[in-house]
Amino acid sequence: MEKIGYLIKKDYQGVINKIENQISEWERNNLKVKKYYINFQNSDSRFRKVKLFFQLENGYNQQLLKLKKDNISLIYTRYDLFIPSFYKIIKTYPTIMEINSDDLAELKQKSLTTYLYNKTFRNKILQKVKGFVTVTNELKRK
């Protein structure tokens, strides 16, 4: 039986019903799904982006160890910025990635630093992914 590992970042809690519905659908189709939560704490400190980076690095590393132990066949996750341990997961396991927004356009308006970081490493992530789920045809073309 295929075992899907669903990587869920703490900030995805706003869409938890969608996640649960997706898992229920997979289970109705005889797929086994296990959730792996990536926890972190937002900060208002001057160094919040650096702190967040290391929290996510640690969180993905912890989940990588669990994925290996649980003998997962496939990863399902939403797009995330390049984090070395996240990249290691998608290099190690066939990955289906959900893309819900035009990340480049959004980040360009929010944070030039994050936008440039994402633009630098985005293709490295996308090239390792085996398949994509997009919510609109516009995103599919990007």
Distance CA 35, CA 75 (A): 10
The predicted-structure confidence for 69-91, as pLDDT tens digits, reads as follows: 999 999 999 999 999 999 999 99
pLDDT of residue 138: 65
Instruction: Work out the average pLDDT over 36-42.
Output: 82
Number of folded domains in the chain?
Answer: 1
What are the start-end ranges of the E strands in 11-51? 32-38
Distance CA 39, CA 58 (A): 9
Among 11-15, 35-39, 83-87, the range scoring the smallest mean pLDDT is: 11-15
- CATH number of 65's domain: 3.40.50
> Which domain, by its residues, includes 64?
3-141
pLDDT of residue 113: 86
